[in-house]
Amino acid sequence: MSSATLVDSVTSWLVEQAFGEPDATALFEGMCERIFATGIPIGRAMVNWTTLHPLFHVEAVIWKKGDEIAFEQFAYLAEGEAANPMWLRSPLKAMVDSGAKVFRRALGGPNKLIDFPVLEEFLEAGYTDYLAFAIDLAIPGTGTGHFRQGIIVSFCCTRAGGFSDTEISALQRIAERFALSGKVMILSRIARTIATTYLGQRAGPRVLGGQIHRGDGETIPSIILYSDLRNSTAFADRMPRSDYITLLNAYFDCIAGAIEEEGGDILNFIGDAVIAIFPLDTWASEREAAEAASRAVEKGFVRLAELNAERRAAGADRLDYGVGLSRGNVMFGNIGTASRLSFSVIGPIVNQVARIQAMTKALGVPALAVQKVAGHAPDHWTPLGEHTLRGFSEPVALYSWNGPAPHREAAAEAGAGKRAGSAPARRKEAAEPDFLADRPEPSTRPS
């Protein structure tokens, strides 16, 4: 079989992959192994592409003959943030700045040119030639000042004398065919990222899987968590918009970040509130789910204490929030109009958990849980007796959080101040509304 035929087999395979849903690492690894099988002596190859992601702006796959394939993501650079010095002194950056489609450097022989630090590394690794191709791709939202929109594929040669002209032509043709499958792969990854970022880990895949019609959904036994920031109205009234958004994000990093770490699924950010579920089918037992939810509460309060220490050092007001936990069947699915839908949870248990969170203010505790949660994680909760929730006829047994919480720390500080004779001024805090439509404070008092 001729070398041209072998190269055609690689390009044909790449085109076939575009009809499916190619995986980034499997696609690039398959291409590189097939290139090597044609007799083209590549020892290292890398592909970079721009993406649309809240955390990363470039993703890459690195192949080395005999090594495990590597996938890397490069963080999005905020405005004014300096780029990595290695990137600024790289051949890829030179291609971005110049708009070049092809870049080559001989790493040995009479035409040797080592004008970038990374080429020194390739030379020390035994490579003899470096070749890169840039293919621009029209993918909305992926443009960045630090990288060209599309992909860059690079190859390192292991043979003395480097790549031949025929091999360079073949590699360019293969790289262009890779871009076809690569675009399918990139768009698929972006779709999954957007779906999970805005809809959550559970709803996102369901929407992409076809549950996009009004009424589509299911009933899920879950522990449901609702968190609400205290004094948010006062903060919003006196703070510039950008500062208030920064404050909200810092609060969300505390509780929502902890929820994600413990395997919970954040369903929605409702103003300054968070609603999340711990679906029972995710854990081996209901006890494990309750423990995960309780650990999320604890981690959130630990982070809040650290945040408040930073805010106190900066002379800013402390933050506080309340958490409610309940357990039951939630209806999880599409609601709305025929053309504008929201994938969310509905049902009496959702209303109940909002009322439970509101009771944290009336009872003066940082977090409350029902018996079906607290009973499976008794080390975290203390019984408070039965209480009637606004809008519900039957009383509910509630359990108070018994771990460390900034709520208690602030009370201890206030008590210490009184004992020292400082007599801090009392401040009446405005009632915080929950996310339900009728939004007054509960009238129930501790029994």
- The predicted pLDDT at position 161 comes to 93
Tell me: do 20 and 64 sit in the same domain. yes
Segments in 378-427 forming alpha helices (H)? 406-419
Domain CATH number, residue 31: 3.30.450.40
Distance CA(325)–CA(290), nearest Å, equals 9
Could you tell me whether strands 367-370 and 321-336 are parallel, antiparallel, or unpaired per DSSP bridges? parallel
Assess if residue 428 is contained within a domain.
no
Kindly report the backbone phi and psi dihedral angles of residue 216, in degrees, each rounded to the nearest multiple of 5, phi listed first. -65, 140
Tell me: do 233 and 343 sit in the same domain. yes
Residue at 434: amino acid letter? D
In 264-421, beta strands by DSSP E: 265-270, 273-279, 321-336, 341-346, 367-370, 381-387, 396-401
The residues with which 48 forms a beta bridge, in sequence order, are 60, 152
The token duo for 200 is 């959550």
The residues with which 56 forms a beta bridge, in sequence order, are 75
Domain CATH number, residue 320: 3.30.70.1230
**Domain final residue, candidates 148, 172, 198:** 198
- Rounded average pLDDT per 10-residue block, the chain, 447 residues: 78 90 91 95 94 85 96 78 80 90 94 94 96 88 64 96 95 94 87 78 72 74 94 89 91 94 90 91 93 96 94 92 93 77 77 93 94 95 92 91 69 43 34 36 34
> 204 vs 91, 218, 253, 283, 351, CA distance in Å?
38, 14, 21, 20, 23
Tell me: do 20 and 90 sit in the same domain. yes
The residues with which 153 forms a beta bridge, in sequence order, are 47, 133
**Domain final residue, candidates 139, 169, 198:** 198
**Domain final residue, candidates 165, 198, 231:** 198
- The predicted pLDDT at position 432 comes to 37
Sign of CA dihedral 58, 59, 63, 64: positive
CB distance 373 to 398 below 8 Å: no
SS3 at position 284: coil
- Spatial CA neighbour of 253 closest among 330, 204, 310: 310
Assess if residue 431 is contained within a domain.
no
Overall number of domains in the chain: 2
Assess if residue 110 is contained within a domain.
yes
- The predicted pLDDT at position 189 comes to 86
Residue at 167: amino acid letter? E
- The predicted pLDDT at position 436 comes to 39
- The predicted pLDDT at position 210 comes to 73
Residues 6 or more apart in contact with residue 441 via CB below 8 angstroms: 358, 361, 362, 431, 433
3-state secondary structure 56-100: EEEEEEEEECCCCCEEEEEECCCCCCCCCHHHHCCHHHHHHHHCC
Secondary structure (DSSP) of 152-173: EEEEEE-STT---HHHHHHHHH
Tell me: do 234 and 194 sit in the same domain. no
Tell me: do 174 and 224 sit in the same domain. no
CB distance 209 to 334 below 8 Å: no
Distance CA(319)–CA(430), nearest Å, equals 14
The token duo for 56 is 């990363």
Distance CA(420)–CA(37), nearest Å, equals 80
In 96-216, beta strands by DSSP E: 102-106, 129-136, 150-157
Tell me: do 158 and 11 sit in the same domain. yes
Tell me: do 399 and 252 sit in the same domain. yes
**What residue numbers bound the domain in which 363 lies?**
207-419
H-run or E-run covering 122: helix 117-124
The token duo for 36 is 């090597």
The token duo for 368 is 């409350």
- The predicted pLDDT at position 150 comes to 86
